Amino acid sequence: MSARRAIARVLARYGISPVSQDGTNISDRLFRAGTFFFALLILVLAGVMVYQMVDGSSLSIREFGWKFVTSSIWDPVREEYGALPFVYGTLVSSLLALLLAVPLSIGVAVFLSELAPRWIERILSFMVELLAAIPSIVYGLWGMFVLVPWIREEVEPILSDHLGFLPLFEGAPYGFGMLAAGLILTVMIVPIVASISRDALRSVPRSQREAAYALGATKWESTILVMKYARSGIFGAALLGLGRALGETMAVTMVIGNRPIISASLFDPGYTMASVLANEFTEATTEMYLNALIEIALLLFTITIIVNILARLLMWTMTQNTAQGGRI
């Protein structure tokens, strides 16, 4: 408090009253303006990025128009660029990862926050957070030398023996491909989804659990209740995981097989938007080539925003339903 008084004294010396006419403290107003400025910077930054990307891809936008998004031919020699396989690869690999990672992470989070003894919880939480700190190139190398051979020798033969009639599991087992990309992304996003979900579960008030027990609920029933209470937090965790999966570059590039095709089979190689940027940007010599690559960056930016908006809408309708008399 003494610091505040000191500021007031300094301001008073220059004839500035610490309290303005409408009754708010001037340092509060400065504080408000300052933080507002920084918040605004984020918007400006996003705006500048969009401007730069649109400007940098103007050539290819003019040349290809919507065909850029709908065509699946990517041929730098003939300067024909279509980004559909990259969009497909990005979405499929990320959704696959989300599908596998979310149940797993919720399991981890529930165990850590509801069931585990304190000392186990401490060790495991530390390990989970450690996993989140591993650089993606390390995941990539591990994926290439450990995960891919395992997929090729064990996972894909089993899948193709038992579920080979599905188009999802058709074709020769290379190891490298969409499945490997989905799995490595799963491993990469589990830590972040799990640790944020755990925090969400932990922040559920004790009274909720106690109320459930008081009504005779079992551990299982009270946990379900707690999960429902924390679902917007868990949803947010999944969203952050998806964000990471959409933008992940290095690890995916190393295991996905880097082939711009659209195939229903998870065994086939694929390609993602982030990967093609990392792969081809340095050697893109012609103007049109560079423009096409920047347009892919723009596309990735747009898709990330759309996915985020959709997810928020979904979350909003979910919470809306409960507000209108749904059960908690």
Partner 1 sequence: MTVIFILTAFAGSLFAQTRLNGAGATFPYVIYSKWFDIYYKNTGVQINYQSIGSGGGIKQIIEGTVDFGATDGPMSDEHLADALKKQKSEVLHIPTVLGAVAVAYNLPTEGKNIRLTSTVLADIFLGKITKWNDTRIAEDNPGLSLPNRAIIVAHRSDGSGTTFIFTDHLAKVSAQWESKVGRGTSVNWPIGLGGKGNEGVAGLLKQTVGSIGYVELAYAVKNNLPYAAIQNKAGAFVAPTITSVTAAAAGAFRDMPEDLRVSITNPEGKDSYPISGFTWLLVYKNPKDHVKRDALTQFLKWALSEGQSHAADLLYAPLPKEVRERSMQKVNSIGK
Which stretches of the chain bind partner 1, using CB under 8 A?
Answer: 73-78, 144-145, 148-149, 152, 172, 174-176, 253-254, 257-260, 269, 271, 275, 278-285
Q: How many residues does the chain have?
A: 328
Nearer to partner 1, 152 or 244 (CB): 152
Nearer to partner 1, 285 or 317 (CB): 285
CB of 141 to partner 1, least distance (A): 9
> Shortest CA distance to 148 belongs to which of 256, 62, 220?
256
Residue type, 303: I
> Shortest CA distance to 257 belongs to which of 166, 162, 133, 171?
171
Nearer to partner 1, 276 or 300 (CB): 276
CB of 146 to partner 1, least distance (A): 11
Nearer to partner 1, 86 or 235 (CB): 86
CB of 280 to partner 1, least distance (A): 5
CB of 328 to partner 1, least distance (A): 49
Q: Are 195 and 125 in contact (CB under 8 A)?
A: yes
CB of 57 to partner 1, least distance (A): 17
> Shortest CA distance to 198 belongs to which of 97, 318, 111?
111
In whole angstroms, give the CA distance from residue 143 to residue 150.
9
Neighbours of 299 (CB within 10 A): 19
Nearer to partner 1, 233 or 257 (CB): 257
> Shortest CA distance to 294 belongs to which of 46, 43, 61, 87?
61
17: which DSSP letter? -
